[in-house]
Amino acid sequence: MRKCYYLNMFTSTNFKDYRLLDAGDKEKLESWHGIILRRPDPMAIWAKSNPKLWERADAIYHRSKSGGGKWEFKKELKEYWKVNYLDLTFKVAPTGFKHTGLFPEQAANWDYITQKISLAKGKISALNLFAYSGAASMVLANAGAEVVHVDASKGMVNWAKENAKLSKLEDKKIRYIVDDCIKFMEREIRRGHHYDVIIMDPPSYGRGPNGELFRFEDAIGKLLDLSFKLLSDRPLFLMVSSYTTGYSKTVLYNVLDQKLKTSTFKGAVISDELGIKIENSPYFLPCGLATRLEFHD
């Protein structure tokens, strides 16, 4: 008898404008509101399920042996187009680094954020660090939180503002900050500011506005120490996403659980892979990690 195993992942079925059509041979084929993109993905080391389907790609990202890469457009596309997640609208555009300005697997976190904020009582203050194009900021604001959105890239903060306009959230309380996240957190602590929710998606490697070197493995401990100092007296949750290769969900669980146990807070940590179901297939594409700390009295 063939054995079947349940695959445990953080996934979502609410992002209807995004579909993962196929994945394999270190690539993925995606539909973004009808626009089909073919992009590299080092996790997809199995074989493609439907090779003929890949001929439908409207644009293909080719990696360069010297680093980076470029898009090959099979047909003329708009500079950007829009996709919807529930009642929110986000801008999508092919960038020079193969990305589109949106990580669809994060919809699992958006579902979680919406549920937690919607059920919370009173005003909720939220801090979104390494906030990129602001999808999570829009989800937080749409659910009723007052949001501080921090990213070191002025271009990505402007992209987030465009997403707020597309989602009709200009009147919501979202404060946009272009800054190094650690330096901003340190200033917030000195100011005596606190947050009920903190989420972050630190890069694997990078440099701050003034050339500061950043490595995930070196920075995550400090980021969490600062986060615990910034939490309110009765926080709701703290969430860390990571795309750094070489680390499992257990590593992030251990780091966050250890920080919790040495703090004055009570809560529970859950850590798992973020994944996307491949259409017409029993398989999922793993796309990173998410670790959630839920606080309780």
Residue range 164-178: mean pLDDT, rounded: 95
Residue 14 scores a pLDDT above 60: yes
pTM over 0.75: yes
More reliable by pLDDT, 208 or 250? 250
Q: Which letter, b or e, does each residue of 68-84 get, where b requires 16 or more Cβ atoms within 10 Å of its Cβ? A: ebebeeeeeeeeeeebe
For the chain, which domains are there? 18-92 (2.60.40.1180), 104-296 (3.40.50.150)
Q: At what angle do helices 135-143 and 107-119 cross, to 10 degrees?
A: 20
Mean of pLDDT values over 97-114? 97
Q: Does the pLDDT at position 225 exceed 60? A: yes
Average pLDDT on 149-154 reads: 95
Average pLDDT, the chain: 94
- Please tell me the predicted confidence (pLDDT) of residue 62: 95
Q: In the structure, what pLDDT confidence band is assigned to residue 19 with cuts at 50, 70 and 90? A: very high
Q: Give pLDDT, residue 1.
A: 44
Residue 261 has pLDDT above 60, yes or no: yes
